[in-house]
Structure 1
Amino acid sequence: MSGDARRAQLAANLERVRERVAAACAAAGRAVEEVRVIAVTKHFPASDVRILAELGLRDVGENRDQEAAPKAAECRDLDLTWHFVGQLQTNKARSVVRYADVVHSVDRARLVTELGRRVRAAGRTLTCLVQVNLDPDSEKGVIGPRGGADPADVPALAEAVEAEEGLTLGGVMAVAPREGDPRAAFDQLKAVADDLRARYPHATTISAGMSGDLEAAVERGTTHLRIGAALLGDRRLIVG
């Protein structure tokens, strides 16, 4: 696909996403400015990041450090906010803190400690979101396949983040379970977020909602949507 054709495709996709977000906000009685869209560009090239930035979308999410680090380096001349949204191994913390502005997947105390140590060494600061496990089939204390801390463990993790120099507690993140009504999961996340914000008024971020369930997430109070397929499409259609 030519560069012009890809730009037109991404522009049309972004317009549709913005229309969906606006409609969801109107239905929920919310201002559209309350909700930010993060373009999750996993498996897509840096050229797509540049196009989206030209179109006014400057929040970029990545799932894997192996792809994110070189992509962020290639786009270092752009004024972007980089969100690391995938599961994060402690041995990748050193690399991630060099480019990420926000890590959405903080789910254990050991990771908090390592992120703090590495971000101080890099001379940067980092916003952390506590990932909450909303899978009803998960046993307490066991991280599910999509990651996340048990809701009961969120306060302790939040306290650990706040105590770590160089880290700032931003709020919470979650992925809705694959089965069931996402609204019930997002209601649970909203309750966790409200409790956290009562203790830490600056922790206002709720990262929830993807291409398939963004309306439910907006209705339940999300502030950040992580959108991949609805924006970027099916990678198999653009790889030649």
Structure 2
Amino acid sequence: MENREKELLRNYGEVKEEIEEAVRISGRKNQDVSLIAVSKFHPASDVEILYRAGHRSFGESYVQEAVSKREELADLDLDWHFIGGLQSKKAKYVAGNFSLVHSVDSSKLAGLLSRKAVSLGVKQGILLQVNSADEEQKSGVSEEMLPALAEEIMELEGLELQGLMCLPPFFGDGESSRPYFQRLRQLKEGLEKLLGVKLPHLSMGMTDDYRAAIEEGSTMVRIGTRIFGKRPG
């Protein structure tokens, strides 16, 4: 356990420093960018180590694992984000249990989250996941359908649309991902004009490309492997 703690704290410290450097280079402020530590596949004990180091925001991708981890760590003041693909039948377990759902991509899913949030008397923050590269294997609304979906969601009770998220094709380097980050920022700006509201968040950038994402306007980077290492087993 002692070795694991040292490893996690070293990785976490390095990532924080690199984020701060990218923020400085882009002329932004540290508070403009949040780090979502993606703890999926890793034990609750890892989350607790980073919590003791002062970190609060964690991302999970699988409902059963996420709910179990939340229950195990219920006594800690954690900020949970759901970042994975979400099946409609599991939406009821997510609404009200996560500060932000990053992966809404259909009116059906939005409607289910809305109804559950209303029944709980809460406002569920969401992001719309955009499939900018039109990759068949990935979730996300197309650029063409995005405005209509956003307008529909603005009419739903219990939901608060806060911005956009994307998963660009895997290139292994930030420069190749940069055009997709630029495009997501443009889409967000276009939606703000269309809807007449401010959308504060762009969730983009992971272990291999988060520096470029920050330079292009990301407000949330989702980093797992760089902090936690490869998945156990």
TM range (shorter): over 0.9
The equivalent position to 1:230 in structure 2, one of 214, 218, 226, is: 226
Distance in 1 (CA, whole Å) between partners of 2:97 and 2:187 is 28
Residue of 10, 21, 24 corresponding to 1:23? 21
Give SS of 2:145's match. Answer: helix
Provide the C-alpha distance between the structure 2 equivalents of 1:106 and 1:120, rounded to a whole number of angstroms. 17
One-letter code of the match for 2:188?
A
The alpha carbon displacement at 1:18 in A equals 0.7
Identity score, percent: 38
Structure 1: how far apart are the matches of 2:130 and 2:70? 26
Q: Which moved more, 1:43-52 or 1:190-199?
A: 190-199
Deviation at 1:193, TM superposition (A): 1.1
Q: What's the TM-score once normalised by structure 1's chain length?
A: 0.91
In structure 1, runs of 5+ residues without a counterpart are none
Aligned-partner residue type, residue 212 of structure 1? D
* RMSD between superposed Cα atoms in Å: 1.5
Could you list the runs of 5+ residues in structure 2 that have no partner in the other structure? Answer: none
Match of 2:65 among 67, 81, 84: 67
Q: Summarize deviations over 1:93-145 as a string: whole Å, max 9, x none.
A: 1111141121100101111111111112233221010101121xx2xxxx732
Q: Which residue of 2 aligns with 1:162?
A: 154
Q: Structure 1, residues 53-98: CA drift from partner, whole Å, max 9, x if none?
A: 1112111100010110110111111111111100001100111114
| Deviation, structure 1 residue 187 | 0.8
Q: Which residue of 1 aligns with 2:190?
A: 195
Instruction: Spell out, residue by residue over 1:194-237, the C-alpha distance to the aligned partner (whole angstroms, 9 max, x if none).
Output: 1122334331100000010001100110000000001111234x
Letter in 1 for 2:153: V
Alignment of 1:181 onto 2:173: no
Counterpart of 2:217 (choices 218, 221, 226) is: 221
Q: How many matched pairs?
A: 229
Normalized against structure 2, the TM-score is what? 0.93
* Structure 1 stretches of 4+ moved >3 Å: none
Q: Distance in 2 between matches of 1:47 and 1:125?
A: 30
Structure 2 residue 137 is the aligned partner of structure 1 residue 145: yes
